[in-house]
Structure 1
Amino acid sequence: MKKILAGLLVVIAALYFFINKQDSNTLVIYSALEQYRNDDLKAHLAEKFPGLNVQIMYMPTAKVAAKVQTEKESSDADIVLGIETGYMEKMKDALADVSEYSHLDYIEGMLPEHGKYLIWESYGGGFAVNTEILEKYGIDEPKTYEDLLKPEFKNRISIQNPKSSSTGYNFYLNLRNVWGEDKALDYFDKLNENVKQYSESGSGPVKLLIQGECAVGTALTYQVVTEINNGNPLKMIYPESGSPYSLDGVSIVKGKNDKQDVKDVFTYLVNDYLVYDKDHYNPGKILEGQESKMKNYPEDIKYADMTGIDDLELRDELLGKWKY
């Protein structure tokens, strides 16, 4: 009986969404951004477009790509946001040409020539440490990847699982590029001895650092700086090979670009809200002359070799060799 009731509730919810989606005043955005950023965006859109019912649905980047690539014009989504560029490339045939929407001055070479999406953000990372934990146990700050193999870090490290986290994959790919595949895999086998937890999400290690459960974690710069500004005893350290990074994008699902509401919202997103988002959430540089307004955000970050970041076949190959 419970299974039947649960099934009915799912059907009712789906019908409710379908009926609302038929309303010309409903616009759907599939977003892979953090929930707090989605909430803020929704509030801004409600103020800017009071006559629209904008629904922002959080969905992991790979799932968005799979759905849109399969459903194409029949997708519930009108706009996709915060999707890694590798997956944007994978579903580009299901996306509209949006090259004429942006009036911003992107860094040369930042935008794809085919025009099927615009870059939303650049996010890079490094080692985040809890300075109080290091001081408590008399542990020196790690400066290199090899430092994380030291016995004093046993059960004091958290990293992302690259199979579920793009942040984790960024570190994995960078080490493969710098050291070669065999040495990188051997390194992670050794590092496993010191890892307390593999996080499913990119922000997982930061949460453990704040809770004092770990001393070191791989993390995104903007997430760590946000927590530093919130008063948490964290510090960002970059390995010698540089900050692993990737890009994500924003676009309109093909066939939805003939709707005026979609055009209006997208134009606002990629010209006005994008700048607001860089000022308040992720200052990673994608625009000419872009200056960070986020307190404590580092300048002149050296970025790592991310050759192959958009190669999904390479991603599948490397993830197939990941043991943890």
Structure 2
Amino acid sequence: MVVSLSATLATSASAANWAGKTCYQEGEVKAVKGATNTCASTSKGLVYGPTRQLTGSLTVVCGATEAWCGAMTGGFQKLTGVSTKFVRLSSGETVARLEAAKANPEFDVWHGGPADGFGVARIGGLIEKYASPTRNLIPKSYQDDEGYWTGVYVGALGFCTNTKEIKRLGLKVPTSWAELLNPKLVKNISSAHPSTSGTAFTTLWTQVTRLGGEAAALDYMTNLHKNILQYTKSGVGPVAIVGRGEAAVGIVFSHDCVAGAEQGLPLKVSFPSEGTGYEIGGVALVKGSKNPDAAKAYVDFALSRDAQNLGPTVAAYQVLTNPKTKFDKRMVKLNTLNTVVYDFDKAAAAKKALTAKFDATIAVAPKA
């Protein structure tokens, strides 16, 4: 994918060593013939950090849309010349693949997908700490306290409704979790499965938070199950299903529904009044990366203003974490939503056992 980047990401024709020289945009990544320097804040002001000589190739496991993953990896390859490919996997699949290949990692970086998945990977020793210079720009609330992952975007969980189908059923666009239990919606709701999808685990943990415990959450999800048409592996999957009119409502991150509506589908976003959950999409180094220098340079890039601004160019309308980025009117205004207090560390610690209970008592994860 050919990606147009701003001047700050353009590869310089000069082979000069920029380490220690003055720079003007914290987090800027400068590439000079296969080497990179990242602009960092120091006691001497803004200066470029140590030079990384980049060689070889990079493989990124990516948890966002194919277009977003392609824009990010393509942008990094264009900037640095490092051959960069991605494999698109949902959060649960990513953790499973990282665990299976722990002794001989197949990926160098994990980019995109909810933070509680990164938390599970941290607990399992699958990712490692990296204090990127660009990390200083990102609000602390969007970072792992110990430095294992850093947020690149925020997405709010919502309902994606086919306006034609909901009207046919004689219902209004839902604005509460309670409304999803309406018997008129039997087999008319689409959701991903929490064992494979970070989006769906966000749905499950939101119930734990708003209802006060796992038992109440599983009880709600059992009742909701009666109305589920099918569970998809990927969190974005329900958008297409609802867009085709196979179901009336999907439970998704709102930015995915906005992207579907932009394609001309009869979709409308709404949010539950009782409180909704949200994701912090992260980036992290995979432990045991075969190309750690390039992997660190990729993380610097992912946190930069210019990389994050690529999202809206490929219809990815998550709220961006770097405060230097541009706000797009299609992004949700988080301060207008009633959000639950989402404890990502607690969610990560509970995820394995809680999804196992979901599998055993409500529905097994889809195979394909």
TM-score relative to the length of structure 2: 0.71
For the structure 1 residues 36 and 113, does the alpha-carbon distance in structure 2 shift closer, same or farther, using more than 3 Å as the test? same
Shift of 1:251: 2.2
Q: Which residue of 2 aligns with 1:16?
A: none
Alignment of 1:212-231 (within 5 A): 212-231=245-264
Aligned to 2:118: 88
Q: Do the aligned residues in 1 keep the contact of 2:192 with 2:199 (CA within 8 Å)?
A: yes
| Conservation of the 8 A alpha-carbon contact between 1:78 and 1:253 | yes
Is the aligned partner of 1:252 residue 2:285? yes
Give yes or no for the alignment of 1:317 onto 2:349: no
* Deviations 1:289-316 (CA, angstroms, capped at 9, x unpaired): 7653153645523322323565434222
Indicate conservation of the 8 Å contact 1:120/1:274, yes or no. no
Please report how far the alpha carbon of residue 33 of structure 1 lies from its aligned counterpart in structure 2 after TM superposition: 2.5
Comparing 228-237 and 90-99, the one that deviates more: 90-99
Q: Go from structure 1 to structure 2 and tell me whether the alpha carbon gap of 1:77 and 1:183 turns closer, same or farther (over 3 Å shift).
A: closer
Looking at structure 2, the residues matched to 118 and 239 of structure 1 have their Cα atoms a distance apart, in angstroms, of 27
Residue of structure 2 in register with 1:35 after alignment: 66
Deviation at 1:260, TM superposition (A): 4.5
User: Aligned to 1:124, which of 147, 150, 156?
Assistant: 156
Structure 2 letter corresponding to 1:55: K
- 2:321 maps to 1:286: yes
- 1:224 alignment partner AA: C
Residue pair 2:164, 2:266 contacting (<8 A) in 1 also: yes
With 230-239 and 311-320 compared, the bigger mean Cα shift is at 311-320
Quote how far apart the aligned CAs of 1:29 are: 1.8
Q: Which moved more, 1:301-310 or 1:158-167?
A: 301-310
The answer to whether the 8 A contact 1:170-1:306 is kept is no
What residue is the counterpart of 2:12 in the other structure? none
RMSD between superposed Cα atoms in Å: 3.0
Query: SS of the counterpart of 2:112?
Result: strand
Change (3 A) 1:89 1:67: same
Structure 2 partner of 1:12: none
Query: Greater shift after overlay, 145-154 or 305-314?
Result: 305-314
How far is 1:256 from its partner?
4.9
Verify the 8 A CA contact 2:121 2:127 in the aligned structure 1.
yes
Question: How many angstroms apart in 2 are the aligned matches of 1:235 and 1:125?
Answer: 13
Provide the secondary structure at the position in 1 that maps to 2:168: helix
Indicate the residue corresponding to 1:187 in structure 2: 220
Q: Which deviates more, 105-114 or 273-282?
A: 273-282
**Residues 104 and 271 of structure 1 are in contact (CA less than 8 Å); yes or no, is this contact kept in structure 2?**
no
The runs of at least 4 consecutive aligned structure 1 residues that moved more than 6 Å come to none
Contact 1:121 1:282 in 2 (8 A): no
The structural deviation recorded for 1:273 is 4.6
Secondary structure of the residue that 1:122 maps to in structure 2? strand
Provide Cα deviations, 1:213-232, integer angstroms capped at 9, x if missing partner: 11111111110111222222
Alignment counterpart, residue 242 of structure 1, candidates 275, 284, 308 = 275
**SS, match of residue 159 in structure 2:** strand
What's the % identity of the aligned pairs? 19
Deviation at 1:35, TM superposition (A): 1.8
Residue 315 of structure 1 aligns to a residue in which SS? helix
Structure 2 CA distance for aligned equivalents of residues 159 and 262 of structure 1: 33
CA separation in 2, counterparts of 1:316 and 1:74?
23
**Aligned counterpart, 2:298:** 265
One-letter code aligned to 1:105: L
More divergent stretch after superposition (176-185 vs 221-230)? 176-185
Deviation at residue 164 of structure 1 after TM alignment: 1.7
1:147 to 172, 179, 189: 179
Offset at 1:25? 2.5
How many matched pairs? Answer: 301
1:39-50 alignment, distance < 5 Å: 39-50=70-81
Aligned with 1:162: secondary structure?
coil
Q: Indicate how the Cα distance of structure 1 residues 224 and 67 shifts in structure 2: closer, same or farther if over 3 A, else same.
A: closer
Q: Is residue 106 from structure 1 mapped to residue 138 from structure 2 by the alignment? A: yes
Moved more, 269-278 or 63-72: 63-72
Q: Bigger CA drift: 271-280 or 168-177?
A: 271-280
Would you say the 8 A contact 2:108–2:291 is kept in 1? no
The reply to whether residue 26 of structure 1 matches residue 57 of structure 2 is: yes
Distance, in Å, in 1 between the alignment partners of 2:169 and 2:111 is: 42
Greater share of strand = 2
Q: Gapped runs of 5+ residues in structure 1?
A: 1-22
